[in-house]
Amino acid sequence: MINRLAELRKARGISAVDLAAKAGVTRQAIYAIEAGTYMPNTAVSLRVARMLETTVEELFALEDEVDTAAALRNFELLDDGLPVAAGEPIQLCRVGKHTIGVPPALFPAYLPLADGIVFEEGRASVVGEPEAENRLLIAGCDPALSLLADYARGAGIEVILANGNSARSLAWLREGRIDIAGTHLNEPVEGERRFASVNFALWEEGFVVRRGNPKGIRTVADLANPSVQFMNRDPGSASRRLFDSLMSGAGLSAAQVAGSQTGATGHLAAAWAVASGVADCCIAAGSAARRFGLDFIPLAAERFDFVLHKRDLGRKTVESLFEVLSRSRFRRQLEMVAGYDVSHAGETVR
């Protein structure tokens, strides 16, 4: 439930006491409504809406009924020394009279969430019970999996993410070491009928280059320019397969491309190499280019799927996770932040 009562009351400069008097309820009732612990009846809702010069629909709405179209907001950059470019993600926070914009750190600035520390090989010293039933272990390379994990937390599902390319993630699934494998290989899982695939998003993969594309990279043939340093992905990744396919189609050999033997472990790691000046170009998802404010030249449209055992489709935690894919707010964030097509999100591919 979306509740905008506190937001609109404060914007109108009306105190809870005055609003309560006009609505015929107590001040405590107004605070309870704003906190979401009390739902007013129709008469009270109409009186409150009239007092605030708005409609009941503007005050209260089911989450999936809210118009999630993006709106422009002015903000002040927290650190003027770290400018951001159009297309980069940002978080906004109201601090007093200021709306402050905070871009994500280029490198993790804080310790990661953890259950404990490694005590010795194969043993860990932990706090509490980490093997909770509401946890799911998902392996994959999609940079947007962190958004899914965040929304899943609100649904009571704790997602543990493991960074792994498509081939490696599928191997872990076959070995029974993860719950769900993320892949954009878009090919049958070796004909194994025990697995099902559920679509997460449709995305584009392509060349990620610096702003303005100073080396003029447009095709794979441009990577053979001696002045171009390329950052390849790790063996087994769909991005490396795309690179190999493009090279073969152009009649080029890996030896002609400086950096073809490198192997960044993930789309963001590859894109960071470009952002930091270590490389001039890499092949990665468009969301990785957005993350660092880089230019993107699309090469292929791909489908990123979740692969899991069919027997797990009926698990409550899995069902709750996939329900998140149908939420309009989550879909809108994937479209806006990652640039994905989510029109088929949650659909069973096979």
pLDDT at residue 69, rounded to an integer:
56
Residues of the chain with CATH 3.40.190.10: 132-199+307-338, 204-301
What is d(CA 13, CA 29) in angstroms, rounded to the nearest whole number? 18
- Is the confidence at residue 66, as pLDDT, over 60? no
Looking at per-residue confidence, does 284 or 9 come out higher?
A: 284
Average pLDDT, the chain: 87
Please name every residue paired with 158 in a beta bridge, in sequence order, or none if there are none. 135
- Domain with residues 2-61, CATH architecture: Orthogonal Bundle (1.10)
- Domain with residues 132-199+307-338, CATH architecture: 3-Layer(aba) Sandwich (3.40)
**SS3 of the chain:** CEECHHHHHHHHCCCHHHHHHHHCCCHHHHHHHHHCCCCCCHHHHHHHHHHCCCCHHHHEECHHHCCCCCCCCCCEECCCCCCCCCCCCCEEEEECCEEEEECCCCCCCCCCCCCEEEEECCEEEECCCCCCCCEEEEEECCCCHHHHHHHHHHCCCEEEEEECCHHHHHHHHHCCCCCEEEECCCCCCCCCCCEEEEEEEEEEEEEEECCCCCCCCCCHHHHHCCCCCEECECCCCHHHHHHHHHHHHCCCCHHHCCCCCCCECCHHHHHHHHHCCCCCEEEEEHHHHHHCCCEEEEEEEEEEEEEEEHHHHHCHHHHHHHHHCCCHHHHHHHHHHHCCECCCCCCECC
Q: Which residue has the tokens 């809702």?
A: 45
Highest mean pLDDT of the ranges 79-88, 120-129, 191-200, 230-239: 230-239
pLDDT in tens, 243-278: 999 999 999 999 999 999 999 999 999 999 999 999
- Domain with residues 204-301, CATH architecture: 3-Layer(aba) Sandwich (3.40)
What is d(CA 267, CA 239) in angstroms, rounded to the nearest whole number? 8
**How far lies 174's CA from each of 139, 227, 244, 308, in Å?**
12, 42, 26, 9
- Is the confidence at residue 138, as pLDDT, over 90? yes
- Is the confidence at residue 345, as pLDDT, over 60? yes
Residues of the chain with CATH 1.10.260.40: 2-61
Query: For the whole model, what pTM was predicted?
Result: 0.74
